Amino acid sequence: MTTEKSILQGKHILIGVSGGIACYKTAELVSKLVQLGVIVDVVMTEAATRFVTPLTFESLSGRGVFDSQWKHIDGHAPQHIKISQCADAMLVVPCTMDMLAKLAVGFTNDPVSLVISAIDLSETPVLLAPSMNVTMLNQPSTQRNLTILKEDGYRLVPPEAGWQACRAHGAGRLPDLTTLVDALETAIS
């Protein structure tokens, strides 16, 4: 266990994982947060489970993963309500083009968007870390959705530029671990 001190220690953070190749980086983030003394609950879309299994996040967080709207992890209360009520903050990482669109129009047909729908943004910060191909990021619809989400009260962790898994180069890379942890610390303080 690390000896670092963090404002996040003892906080309850939800990590939403949507289906993009950057999912593998989220495993390292969950590990880092747990080492900082954070209680981490992971919420995954079905698409995310195709990149990284729930077992990976259960092993790293020591907690069950909410990966189905129809599954109850703890008791019989509506899981999305119960999870959202205990959160100090939520970070969606990676936040795909699809997830941005769902949140911008209010669709709740997966565990991540469903949990977010039960969070009062005026009380609990929800951070979005967009990660996608540079062309997808620059689509007018994506830019429009980012504007809408900022206006709605979501906090954006801007993507970085660099080499992408699709062999493109440009903006759209998931920010590094330090940037993501710093964004959570800023949101909590």
Alpha carbons 112 and 94: distance in angstroms, whole number: 11
Other C-beta atoms lying within 10 Å of the C-beta of residue 21: 16
Exactly one of 23, 86, 95, 166 is catalytic; name it: 166
Alpha carbons 118 and 69: distance in angstroms, whole number: 13
For the record, the structure tokens of 120 come out as 């009062």
Total number of residues shown for the chain: 189
Alpha carbons 102 and 40: distance in angstroms, whole number: 24
Respond yes or no: is residue 166 known to be catalytic.
yes
Task: Identify the helix (H) or strand (E) that includes residue 13.
Answer: strand 12-17
SS3 136: helix
Give residues with Cβ within 8 angstroms of 174, minimum separation 6: 22, 25, 93, 94, 129, 131, 159, 160, 180
Annotated catalytic residues are 166
